[in-house]
A and B are shown apart, each in its own frame.
Chain A
């Protein structure tokens, strides 16, 4: 069974007919030829297929394309605008935050989404419950970065570089970190 859907991917609007069984990951990779999101496990267990979906980081292997009709998708390829690397991408280069690179597009999308979540004051499991209860915005130290990034596996073990790259990108861009990137959508949880 098929459905006609619209996806905006990295700023380009696509209308396509998909089999309802198609995941967003397969729609991107096989139907649209957007191969920046990688298929590492296809079960939501590795994070390699992470993109920003309506501004939020998600794994695309467990999202049905048909359920994402009308969505806006930003992949690692779309983060680099007009040939200029996103600050997160530059930081990954500067800190040698990858080796084989297979997890890297997912790491970078996840890191960009994660910084927005932290900027919005979201706690993590590393945030002390009391500080969280008081609404304190966690300082994004290495511990917070590590906990928040634990959904992106890197088998090459480039974690040291990943942590320092994200910290560097967060500092470098600070308030501007989210510019050009939609804030985490709040429709699922209005305050």
Chain B
């Protein structure tokens, strides 16, 4: 904030070791087991509770400069002129770069290369980067930004997603043919992907009107989901250090090191191997760090100035500097027989992708393929659209298109129950999918998915005590409105609601989804130590713990160390789509198995193991087990210490892990087995609503989730709590307010996320029906509860108020007032 002397002390470990977890052995209290199924402490826990864990914003390097970004004040404008000279004249300013200074590819993008590194002719959203500055102090950099002259010619913004999708007279955000959209995504106008699905009679030329006549009851609804922000508490930040070989080393908080590398290097005009990316401490992600933010800018400035450059976004900038959850407009129609069996569904889903594609095509694919939710519906027509507008770009956020769809289909299930005068759980049970069911994409569910059991268990969970009936002393917090004591007993009504969410886990639609692990076993200080090296991003989900657990279980060692995640090992893919336990877990397991086979062979070669054979059988190699730092021969022979087996040998293996292949969706019929794995969570929300003041207190938000196998039960519950909390936030308070393309609430005073007071105790029951396709039978767990929590809370408020409540987040005025 203030100009001044250089820091008197390094603010963080040198960038050679930022944000990495300490070796497991540094924990004084090593758990007895600590393998798969236990709940050992997080290896990075001690550093995190003492504040010594180095996040990307904590990094520091000798001679470091500060980078800062000039952003467009207009949502849509032509850049007429840029003059950087006044900024360059400011003492302490070392570089001012515009699009003309980008040596390589001018644009990048996760799926579509459409986003300029720095805007050239046109800005398409408010906050789009136009220039970057490096200076000796943040305050100097800020003043330099003020001196950059940019003349704009303001253009008409495109703010309405439905208009962008359907109005042929709507201005185009991108000129036709200027962005490399894929033909199979049916791009047209501002639509960058339209994914239709047609099944049953609706695939055979019949119309929705035909089916409507055959249904005993028809429910229709228009629903809206506001724009949600990931609101990671750690802002976008990183440190780029120029290297002597002409390359650059980037230390950054990200979800996917190799995707960063793949996008950064072409923009810099460098081969990927000269752009080395290392994970710095990540202060939350939730999808916000899947896209690039400051990465290319910091590297450009570092290469230009020859000095390390650090960029840290401030909070307001962070709201503009990362993608958000797509706002959605949903028009759903469901028809059913009098007994509640669904006959048909017709869905229109419009997702506002904002100015650049980010992951919008994949989000559309998920919203379309899971738009019907976990229900068997013989005839379906789905049309999901992702559109360009000049609103802030939208992309990945926990739940990824399935959240929006889930609010729609679960709202519809409650409407159907009401129309049929049927219990909401009963309606869901009548139509529930299970193993063997077929999704509207034609994909058969081939793993256990006991939805009916989950619903029954959720219904059977104990209810919280009823709201305190007047008279009597009332705990002010036991009423809606929180500590303001706003609620009063007399006008408080209780409601109960259910939500079921179906989420694809891992990447879909034919993506070559894989992860890589390198595992080394050697003797250090007399004891065997496994070193696990992956490029997987620990973002708080506890993957570092899981990697150690897997190594302990597979190699039977007590001590496991983790190499910092970086690009010197193969890609681990993204920490998203609930996929890392499965994918990087699978890779670590496979690498450990390969190491184990070599250890067994080594033992045999050294005469420490009698007999023939080898190869993995049932998880053990020729009946040989590794446990308690020993090699345990079959048949009760005495264990041999691994230290003795290994001696000076270093056994290292690298393995890639892939889930089974998936298929793209047919661009016309939407058919294709697009998903590798499915996860499900059922939520039951209990709310007290002050119907006079429109205040909601969530009394309970209990979950039943199918997880396949709990690798770390305690962290797993944390994931389910966290997902549910973000779903509760979307239900009741979280919305990025965008008016005319401008975010009106880019602060934590105005963009509200749940506090500890807003979140009730949350009971969690996990079911463990192993998925035979996955390592240990596991399923990722982070996303499904984010889907189901939102509609469950809204359903409970509807039950209390009788209001239709078709838009989230709910506001007091939606609930209480005319």
A and B in contact, CB less than 8 Å: yes
Top 8 closest pairs, chain A to chain B, by CB: A36-B51, A100-B540, A157-B725, A101-B48, A125-B483, A102-B283, A105-B51, A99-B540
**A153 proximity list for chain B (CB < 8 A):** 233, 748, 753, 755
Complex CA–CA separation, A29 to B10 (angstroms): 9
Contact among B283, B285, B315, B477 with A42 in the assembled complex (CB-CB below 8 Å): B315
Contact among B11, B51, B286, B717 with A155 in the assembled complex (CB-CB below 8 Å): B286
Contact (Cβ within 8 A) B747 A45: yes
Binds B, one of A144-152, A174-182, A183-191: A144-152
Known: A77-B50, A158-B721. A147 touches B757 (CB 8 A): yes
Contact (Cβ within 8 A) A160 B762: yes
Tell me whether B667 is interfacial, beta carbon within 8 Å: no
Closest Cβ of chain A to B530, distance in Å, is 23
Contact (Cβ within 8 A) A38 B234: yes
Tell me whether B708 is interfacial, beta carbon within 8 Å: no
Known: A33-B10, A128-B476, A158-B721. A22 touches B2 (CB 8 A): yes
Give the nearest-CB partner of A89 in chain B: B49
Contact (Cβ within 8 A) A128 B51: no
A-B contact list, 29 entries, CB within 8 Å = A23-B1, A26-B1, A31-B8, A35-B52, A36-B50, A39-B312, A40-B234, A41-B747, A43-B748, A46-B233, A46-B748, A48-B233, A98-B48, A98-B49, A99-B540, A99-B542, A100-B234, A101-B49, A101-B540, A102-B55, A102-B283, A125-B483, A126-B476, A146-B757, A152-B756, A155-B284, A156-B284, A157-B722, A159-B756
Closest Cβ of chain A to B460, distance in Å, is 22
**B57 proximity list for chain A (CB < 8 A):** 38-39
Complex CA–CA separation, A155 to B714 (angstroms): 18
Give the nearest-CB partner of A95 in chain B: B714
| Most chain B CB atoms below 10 A, which of A2, A48, A98 | A98
For chain B, the bracket of interface size reads 35 or more
**A17 proximity list for chain B (CB < 8 A):** 4-5
| Most chain A CB atoms below 10 A, which of B3, B234, B762 | B234
Tell me whether B507 is interfacial, beta carbon within 8 Å: no
Give the nearest-CB partner of A94 in chain B: B41
Complex CA–CA separation, A75 to B49 (angstroms): 11
Complex CA–CA separation, A147 to B475 (angstroms): 12
**B755 proximity list for chain A (CB < 8 A):** 150-151, 153
Tell me whether A85 is interfacial, beta carbon within 8 Å: yes
| Most chain B CB atoms below 10 A, which of A39, A89, A105, A143 | A39
Number of A-B contacts defined by CB within 8 Å: 221
Contact (Cβ within 8 A) B315 A33: no
Closest Cβ of chain A to B224, distance in Å, is 24
For chain A, the bracket of interface size reads 35 or more
Known: A39-B57, A102-B234, A157-B721. A162 touches B756 (CB 8 A): yes
- Binary CB contact string for chain A from 152 to 171 against chain B (1 if under 8 A, 0 otherwise): 11111111111100000000
Closest Cβ of chain A to B753, distance in Å, is 6
Contact among A85, A100, A149 with B50 in the assembled complex (CB-CB below 8 Å): A85
Contact (Cβ within 8 A) B722 A158: yes
Tell me whether B726 is interfacial, beta carbon within 8 Å: yes
Tell me whether A30 is interfacial, beta carbon within 8 Å: yes
Contact among B49, B312, B722, B761 with A85 in the assembled complex (CB-CB below 8 Å): B49
| Most chain A CB atoms below 10 A, which of B53, B230, B724, B726 | B53
Complex CA–CA separation, A22 to B44 (angstroms): 31
Tell me whether B86 is interfacial, beta carbon within 8 Å: no
**B139 proximity list for chain A (CB < 8 A):** 21
Tell me whether A120 is interfacial, beta carbon within 8 Å: no
Tell me whether A137 is interfacial, beta carbon within 8 Å: no
Known: A48-B233, A155-B284, A159-B725. A101 touches B8 (CB 8 A): no
